[in-house]
Amino acid sequence: MPCSPYREAVSARLDGEPLGMPARALEDHLGVCSACAAWADRAALVTRRARLAAAPPVPDLTADVLAALPRELPGAAPAARARLVGTALRFALLVVGVAQAGIAWPVLVTGVGAMSAPAHMAHETGAWNLAVAAALLAVAARPGLAAGALTALGSLAVLLVPVTLADLGAGHVHLDRAVAHLLLVAGALLVAVVAWRGSRRRLSPAVPGRRLAA
């Protein structure tokens, strides 16, 4: 029998695979064939060296990788900022709405308006002003209502400002009464900003974190 099957068996034994022959037959051949015995020794040596050789050094990139990571997920900071601005706007609307209601409610209940207005005129302006307060508070509670509320609030503010300025110039209105209208103007501006932010969010493509900001 030629030597090659025995050398294949030696190689298989080193690799932990089936020898393809009885182990006793291999041992017997290695005992009588010095060439194969020497070949088996060399093969065992090469195999051992290959297994014991140190792994090639790999640079430790942990610090570099950690340093390269973004501090926050993309979009997280803008989303958090947008939430904060939205909350501040709603709180401001709440304050303006409560103040507006505080002015309107007594006039509506008592029928005694400023500047000695007839009772029904006082009731009517009281109802108007309370409706404005209700609209502001509704937008504070549900910012999605801003665009709808803006139609009435915006046009009321746009109409009221020039006529109030004209009345002030002509002495038809006291300054404190005119200043009270600033609440309406501030509320209308806040509602306009909320409506603008809502429309911008609907138009912009989805970005990471956008869902959180909604």
Token pair 């640079």 is found at 59
Token pair 């090659």 is found at 4
Do the Cβ atoms of 19 and 26 come closer than 8 Å?
yes
Least distance to Zn ion from the beta carbon of 1, Å?
9
Least distance to Zn ion from the beta carbon of 17, Å?
20
By beta-carbon proximity to Zn ion, the closer residue of 37 and 117 is 37
By beta-carbon proximity to Zn ion, the closer residue of 2 and 70 is 2
By beta-carbon proximity to Zn ion, the closer residue of 36 and 191 is 36
Least distance to Zn ion from the beta carbon of 2, Å?
8
By beta-carbon proximity to Zn ion, the closer residue of 35 and 158 is 35
Q: How many CB atoms lie within 10 A of CB 27?
A: 10
Instruction: Please tell me the distance from the alpha carbon of residue 188 to that of residue 195, in angstroms, as a whole number.
Output: 10
Least distance to Zn ion from the beta carbon of 16, Å?
22
Q: Which residues bind Zn ion (CB under 5 A)?
A: 3, 33, 36
Question: Which own/partner contact pairs does 118-127 have at CB distance under 8 Å and 24+ positions apart?
Answer: none
Q: Which of 193, 198, 188 is nearest to 133 (CA)?
A: 188
Q: How many CA atoms are closer than 13 Å to the CA of 201, on its beta-carbon side?
A: 20
